[in-house]
Structure 1
């Protein structure tokens, strides 16, 4: 079973829920937040395997190219431009669709590969951990995420998704059988929760809410979930001690004061997300 952990915005506690729940469930941890993969900071796995993520880009042979501009016309991503009698390539805008090579009647276009990131895999406490890392300056994270999520184990996988609801999140959610949405009881938290709820409902998968920084009182998140008939499957207390543990790179599940929070959450996850 693949469980995606999402948040409509950054900083709500998505990674906190992911790593601690993965430890309790004995699940594989997969960090798809490839622009800011923080999960390994807490789990500290020993990296056993690393490989580059490559993408294709067009190479123009100036000896065969007559600058007709057909490749420029067909490119939907503005990766090619005609400037006077020269075709210019913007590699980082290319989506490797191959259209330019198809329309080139002079065989002046071929494809080469370049690295945009890497995948790292290892183990922590006998738990398999993997993450994608997007190279600095690269604008497109999706190829790294797709490579990371290929050939997932048939065991339980916790997918720590990127924040927000962008195409990075959508491509992570494609592999999910269920979802956990992490939010906080603020106006910003509610605003972005509503957006991510719409996204998950589009995929028609079971989901539940975890409230971080919860003081146990009635609040706008609880009222929203009640109105929308969305199940709240857990909460993390509003605590200075938790913030201190997190800032020091600690794991809450290994702290006796908070272990029961994730033990209870693991039970509720199995009940609410139609565990199979």
Structure 2
């Protein structure tokens, strides 16, 4: 079985993205690795409840200035597009939280006044839930630079057989970082006007990236058919429709899985993986 990465994303929060990602991982079972890349508020652990969790600090590069060597030439300031290092009135100031860690300032410094320092972004958490490996990133409070942490989470899952990525909500840079390198994107939506609006934004982003994708409709019988009609008009496959029920809502509130509340859904999620594989491997359009 060839290695595969499937990203579960959504145009907005609250659609059931983590619900789909966790249940998909459990339905696959042995050999599945779930990456919680929603690093600002990771919550896959609430459903999978991993054992023996290990935590590793994650740092990123920031420039450190030696004022005794700096000649205030301004080369670093001119290079930086994010104003993370600035020359003001003959003094060089750094703003680590604005730094994108490219290292360009260190490279262009003619005197070697800049060196590579580090600052902590957050933590990498790794645990095991029966046959499933869960790797999560947790961004430090007040930290804005989530893409470097997302990349570290993904690097920790290299060479895994099947990787399922729980991406951040929306269509911004963190989502693109989570999607990079994936073979298929599952877009989770709900049958409401807001759900359809944000689904369209997500579809546009995935199409720009040129990735194959399909839709999962959560709480499918709680709204109208506008998402179904949109999918039909756009030629987008609906991979799965998850019904709304009080039993499912009660299980979710207790941190339980959908496949436990409705065992028949385990087969449906496993079948969804088979559909995705056939598309990614070119066996069907």
Q: Same fold (TM over 0.5)?
A: yes
- The yes-or-no answer on 1:138 pairing with 2:146 is no
- The yes-or-no answer on 1:35 pairing with 2:35 is no
Give the counterpart of 1:52 among 33, 54, 57.
Answer: 57
How far, CA to CA, are the matches of 1:217 and 1:99 in structure 2? 51
Shift of 1:197: 1.1
Shift of 1:67: 2.4
- The yes-or-no answer on 1:149 pairing with 2:154 is yes
SS of 1:112's equivalent?
strand
**Partner of 1:267 in structure 2?**
271
**Partner of 1:84 in structure 2?**
89
**Partner of 2:5 in structure 1?**
2
SS of 2:218's equivalent?
strand
CA deviation string 1:198-235 (max 9, x = no partner): 22223333221110111188511000001011111111
How far, CA to CA, are the matches of 2:274 and 2:137 in structure 1? 27
The 8 Å contact of residues 27 and 269 in structure 2, kept in 1 or not, is answered as: no
Structure 2: segments with no counterpart, 5+ residues: none
SS of 2:219's equivalent?
strand
How far, CA to CA, are the matches of 2:139 and 2:224 in structure 1? 40
SS of 1:62's equivalent?
coil
62 and 216 in structure 1: CA distance in 2 versus 1, 3 angstrom threshold: closer
Structure 1 residue ranges, 4+ long, deviating more than 3 angstroms after superposition = none
Shift of 1:58: 0.7
Shift of 1:86: 1.4
The 8 Å contact of residues 47 and 120 in structure 1, kept in 2 or not, is answered as: no
CA deviation string 1:167-193 (max 9, x = no partner): 111111112111211000111111111
TM-score normalized by the length of structure 1? 0.93
Shift of 1:54: 1.2
Shift of 1:238: 1.9
SS of 1:33's equivalent?
coil
**Partner of 2:15 in structure 1?**
12
**Partner of 1:106 in structure 2?**
111
TM-score normalized by the length of structure 2? 0.90
CA RMSD of superposed structures (Å): 1.7
Shift of 1:117: 1.1
**Partner of 1:241 in structure 2?**
247
How many aligned positions are there? 274
Structure 1: segments with no counterpart, 5+ residues: none
